Chains A and B, each alone.
Chain A
Amino acid sequence: MTRPVEQLEELTAYLDGELDEDARQRVDALLERDAAARALLEQLRQTSRLVGALPRADAPGDLAAAVTARIERRELLGNGGEPWNATPRRAVRWGRRLSAAAAIALVCTAGWLGWQRSSRVVVVPELVGHTDEARRLVAKRPKLEDPAILRDGDHREKTLSRKTETDADGLLDAANSASAVADNAVPCVAMAKTANRRLASTEQPPVPGEAPAGDWDEEADRSAGIASAGRSRGVATAPPEAAHWIEIVSESYETRTAVARAIRRYAEIHGQAVRLREADRVVGVAGCVTRMRWLKPEETGHSETVLVVDLPRSQADDLLHAMSSAASEATGDIHVVANGRQLASIAEAGPWIMGGSLPLQVPSPEPKMATSRAVGIRGDRAVLRAGRKTQARSPMSPEPVATSRAAVAADTNEGPTRISAGQAARKLEADVITLALVLRSPPSTSQRSPPPRKTSPASRPTAVPTSAPADNAPAPARQDGSRG
């Protein structure tokens, strides 16, 4: 019985010259007598030629340098724990030790910060909020419908389909939704209490255009309200367990893609499900963020790249790394303001974000990064408070460790774990931070005008800056470090 000609794999091998002599002769004979075989052979040849005619894409020119840089960075950071040529077993052993130590330290920090926090406000960077168009766009931002990921006590991922609202009702909805799907390890009452606390903290009506002044102070925050002040700027108040979104505003394709690549890389490391969106269209994949938005200069009236990130606190420094790289690759300068306190470089944001309870894992910034100036980073009240205390405390103060010991125990167990409602709430509250960075593009287009500058940006006590942070920051020392 003869096989249909299409099942003759020898034709493909014949085409590729991969048959031995006997087989080749058999196919020759077949082709001589069978028109269908000849036709199929020709179709296969053309198919192969079409694929082979696809244009070759060369690797990015700096790939070798990028590989070298990544290797060096891993060595510096101890990712994997050992130099590239270390013996694998030793590398694994040390990697595990370092990972375990880092995990414990991170959870300690998170627990401590969460314990101190009573509310959370995501603040839109003023650079976005200072134009009407940007305000309109920002106002849309909280209406996320992306699934959030909640980790329960035994580290399983729970995907929650729920929406994030700007008001406290949204928090309650989110809490109820979360508790509906979470297992008993995360009691719903804990989240409900959390939401209620946030509801109370956000009930004050916003005062458009007004921003509380003075030093960062918990009482001042409560009375004047980061929430209300921020809301007037398009603040999004989002449940921390869900508010993983990122917004990239840039007219620079290179910036967008570089940052997106960085986030993807970051996501790859952490294995998190992420979607990036261009407006409402899913356009890519990235880390622990679910939204990406960029604006053209004509939409915002400014040329800066604004990057707003909500991310798990424990991963902040990794993303800082990624964004540092992206910024250096794309537009060069990156500017950071933490709670009105202008930072010398992005690296300085590391300990600030981490509440000072972790050693900074961001290596010394490259010279061009060291010349960066601060423009805008805002976090929630708990972060701000932690940041303030950081200045007065030893980085490894024993108090955070003590207050979160139970959470650490819960988090380091491999099997299913039950933790108390309070612990669960604290873990959730402490899980997310907000980070806003402004990447300044080189002043190359005619439509942008240089922002006004002030001379003493070292500290800025205003709770919510009333003008674009860029307007109050020193001029970047470097403007030519980008290739875009």
Chain B
Amino acid sequence: MRASGHVCQVGDAELVERCRRGERAAFEPLVRRYQDRVFNACLRVSGNHAEAEDLTQEAFMKALQAIDRFDGRSGFYTWLFRIAINLTLSARRRGARRPTVSLDAPVGNCGEDSIGRRLSSGESGPDRVACDSETHRRVLEALAGLNDDYRVVVVLRDVESFSYDEIAEILEVPVGTVKSRLHRARLALRNTLAPILGVT
């Protein structure tokens, strides 16, 4: 399960139904359950810590306000991500007209130990790469260099581990489009990260 370690055992569907009946307290477990993942996705797509925080809040608020319109055909989690991603992309589009950089993105956001662990744990990881914050910085820059459509699918797949079907549902595009965008996005990333990957 993708829940972020929350102890609440009540299922999403039941919590959603309680929210629909006007029990706002039932929404809090949903927030706690998915806030980290939504925030992380917003952060990786937007590239802005503060903006991601705002977007995450806004996504939950919109989800709550629109919960009567949640038809249950998809999972609440997928539906919530659709809202969050749409908000993030909208914010990005607005931001494109007013280019910005993050005011308060934490310095040292990379988590040096983490990347080292994760990369070294991979069976065929790029051992020759120095697994430090510099690597993270380059990866983040490469992500930022992608256009929004590509970056979103990469984040949803490689960061959030959604299936192609789920990504298609979130983005409301055909699965073939997801596959195509993901392939092109990874190729672009590979080209950008060629020095790290040892690609000549």
Using a CB–CB distance below 8 Å, which chain A residues touch chain B? 6, 8-9, 11-13, 16, 18, 42-60, 63-64, 66-68, 70-71, 74, 80, 84-85, 87-88, 91, 253, 256-257, 260-261, 264-265, 268, 271, 273-276, 278, 282-286
Q: Report how far A53 CA is from B111 CA in the complex, Å.
A: 10
Cβ-defined contact, B54 with A261, below 8 A: yes
Does B199 lie within 8 Å of A43, measured CB to CB?
Answer: yes
The distance in angstroms between the C-alpha atoms of A57 and B115, with both chains bound, is 13
The distance from the CB of B186 to the nearest CB of chain A, in whole angstroms, is 5
Inter-chain contact B39/A57, CB cutoff 8 Å: yes
CA distance A59 to B24 in the complex (A): 21
A45 touches B193 (CB 8 A): no
Within the complex, the shortest CB–CB distance from A34 to chain B, in Å, comes to 17
Contact A85 to B68, CB < 8 A, known contacts A13-B164, A45-B124: yes
Chain B residue nearest in CB terms to A61: B35
Kindly state the separation between the CA atoms of A260 and B54 in the bound complex, as whole angstroms: 12
Q: In the assembly, what is the distance between CA of A285 and CA of B182, in Å?
A: 30
User: Could you tell me the distance in whole angstroms from the C-beta of A158 to the nearest C-beta in chain B?
Assistant: 15
**B183 x A9 contact (CB < 8 A):** yes
* Residues of chain A within 8 A of B44, CB atoms compared: 54
B118 within 8 A of A: yes
A-B interface contact total, Cβ < 8 Å: 190
Provide 21 A-B residue pairs closer than 8 Å at the C-beta atoms, listed in order of the A residue.
Answer: A16-B157, A47-B190, A47-B197, A48-B157, A51-B159, A53-B139, A54-B110, A56-B40, A57-B40, A57-B109, A58-B40, A64-B31, A67-B31, A68-B24, A71-B64, A91-B65, A257-B103, A260-B104, A261-B54, A268-B54, A273-B97
Q: Is B80 an interface residue (CB 8 A)?
A: no
- Contact check, B187 vs A6: say whether CB atoms are below 8 A apart: yes
The interface residues of chain A, by DSSP majority, are classed as helix
A74 to B94: give the CA distance in the assembly, Å: 24
C-alpha gap A91/B35 in the complex (Å): 26
A18 touches B104 (CB 8 A): no
Question: Which among A51, A64, A261, A274 has the highest number of chain B CB atoms within 10 Å?
Answer: A51
A59, A60, A63, A70 interface centre (most CB from chain B within 10 Å): A59
B54 touches A265 (CB 8 A): yes
Taking the closest CB of chain B, its distance from the CB of A350, in whole angstroms, is: 23
Interface set, chain B 146-171, CB cutoff 8 A to A = 154-155, 157-159, 161, 163-164
Query: In the complex, A45 Cα to B60 Cα: how many Å?
Result: 33
Q: Are A85 and B22 in contact (CB under 8 A)?
A: yes
The residue in chain B whose Cβ has the minimal distance to the Cβ of A39 is B199
Q: Residue of B at shortest CB range from A282? A: B101
CB distance from B153 to the nearest CB of A (A): 10
